Structure 1
Amino acid sequence: MRILVAEDEVKTRRYLFQGLHEQGFTVDVAKDGNAALALLREHVFDVCVLDVMLPGRDGWSVLQTLRKESILTQVIFLTARDHVEDRVRGFELGGDDYLVKPFAFAELVARIKNLARRGPHASETKMLQVGGLNFDLLRHHVERDGRVLSLTPKEYSLLLLLARQPGRVLSRTLIAESVWGACFDTQTNVVDVLVGRLRIKLDTGFSKPMLHTVRGVGYMLDAPDE
């Protein structure tokens, strides 16, 4: 199983990484909400252990964005917030479990394994298709109408971000935050340069483009009409 631990407190993050690794899990870590969201968009995780009070973007916002984008990774909230309304909010947003700090590590492991027995949502998202564009998310492999696209990690992250929300225009700010996990100066053209490189690889040789520019707004991916 592959686990993402999103926790800003250094000692707790290290403790969870070490403990879960010793249990045989593959473990990635994020120290803020933006980094967590970027990882969850780019990779397939079985479970995310998500702190609520994260810097940059809190756990509520991370989960809400995941579910809006149909990313169904199972989420266990790990937080010091023990109010009933907080637990209710977590479940209403699409969370799968809720564990209050301080916690017993053995209980966390048991809850992760319990979610695995229920059937990880992430297994439902190993493949993604938008028109003739096909993703194998486990291998980071992408084809358009049978032609393999050789993408850099940033190009892949951008294309996957757009493909998870086909037909929706994404702003440059949102793209920068998602792909780089940080806020960029809106006056720079780093997003436009990346989009230009991706467009060459994605659309060259095809009669109808998939990657579109909406002037003054951002970019969108859409399947060509049959």
Structure 2
Amino acid sequence: MPYNVPMIPKQETRRMEESPTLLLVEDEPDVASFVQQGLEEESYSVSWVQEGQRALEHVQQAPVDLVLLDIRLPDRSGIEVCGRLRLHQPNLPIMMLTALDAVEDRVKGLRAGADDYLPKPFAFDELVARIEALLRRVDAPAQTETLRDGPLVVDPAAQVCTYEGKEVSLTPTEFDLLVYLMARRGQALSRDAIHRDVWGHDFERGTNLIDVYVNYVREKLGEAGCPSPVETAHGVGYRYTACTESAERHD
């Protein structure tokens, strides 16, 4: 089956149209055909490529609202493709498609910057729901109030996080998670609430998605010299406390 790769001038970043444009990166033709046909019936515009390199070229050449990215591709790992996409288009929603038992692949994909993952085999209705959730996050009115906690400053409008004046590099999902927790300082927030409000769909029991992302935020703040203000609320979920309180606990 030929690649469906529309060519447009590189300087054009987004085509204004009613149907969101999706890029499906999947090397199995049967799976790709099923997903593409189903999504097009849901009024999405779907382009399909089989290789990671073609995906990178496509995103440079055509406007894309969301990428569905398989991990196992014939020319390079989907995790590598995810990292390169995230480097050049930090706000592009990316959903990884993974084997059911590939826990390590899921973690690597999230660390590379994926916003969500969906294990194979998956229910088509769930795929659509997750796509809708990611696109709602992009279209939702942005919180513009700058959040400050001592030397930690988070500017949602500019999508910038700094500690003592130095930028902390966060993926879009890590940034959204920090903003969500920071804006609710002192509240014990359940995993259900975090998943619903940050990811936009119901929390999956048995998954450690939220724990993985909280650890990423903690690690990146720690690398910047900021004692993590995100603490575990035992039996509930997580709580954001002040940086000064976190520092005192570490002294």
**TM-score normalised by length of structure 2:** 0.46
The AA in structure 2 aligned to 1:67 is R
Aligned length: 121
Q: Return structure 1 stretches of 4+ with deviation > 3 angstroms.
A: none
Q: CA deviation at 1:109?
A: 0.2
Asked if the contact 2:98/2:105 (under 8 Å) is kept, the reply is: no
The separation in 2 between residues aligned to 1:93 and 1:9, in whole angstroms, is 23
- 8 Å contact from structure 2 (residues 25, 48) kept in 1: yes
For the 8 Å contact 2:70–2:97, the answer to whether it is kept is yes
Match of 1:112 in 2: 131
Structure 1 residue 71, shift from structure 2 partner: 4.7
Gaps of 5+ in 1: 122-226
Equivalent in the alignment of 2:57: 38
Instruction: State the alpha-carbon separation in 2 of the partners of residues 44 and 81 from structure 1.
Output: 30
For the pair 1:16 / 2:16, whether they are aligned, the reply is: no
Tell me what 1:128 maps to: none
Q: TM-score, normalised by structure 1?
A: 0.51
Larger RCO: 1 or 2 (CA < 8 Å, sep 6+) = 1
Tell me the residue number matched to 2:94. Answer: 75
C-alpha contact 2:21 2:45 (8 A) present in aligned 1: yes
Distance 2:139 2:71 in 1: 21
Query: Is residue 2:145 matched to residue 1:90?
Result: no
Task: Give deviations 1:114-153, integer Å, cap 9, x for gaps.
Answer: 00111169xxxxxxxxxxxxxxxxxxxxxxxxxxxxxxxx
Helix, strand or coil for the counterpart of 2:48? strand
SS in 2 for 1:94: coil
Between the aligned partners of 1:69 and 1:2, the Cα distance in structure 2 is 18
1:57 pairs with one of 49, 65, 76: 76
Aligned pairs (5 A) from 1:41-190:
41-80=60-99, 82-119=101-138
**Percent of residue pairs bearing the same amino acid type:** 42
Deviation at 1:103, TM superposition (A): 0.4
Q: Any idea what SS the aligned residue of 2:69 has?
A: strand
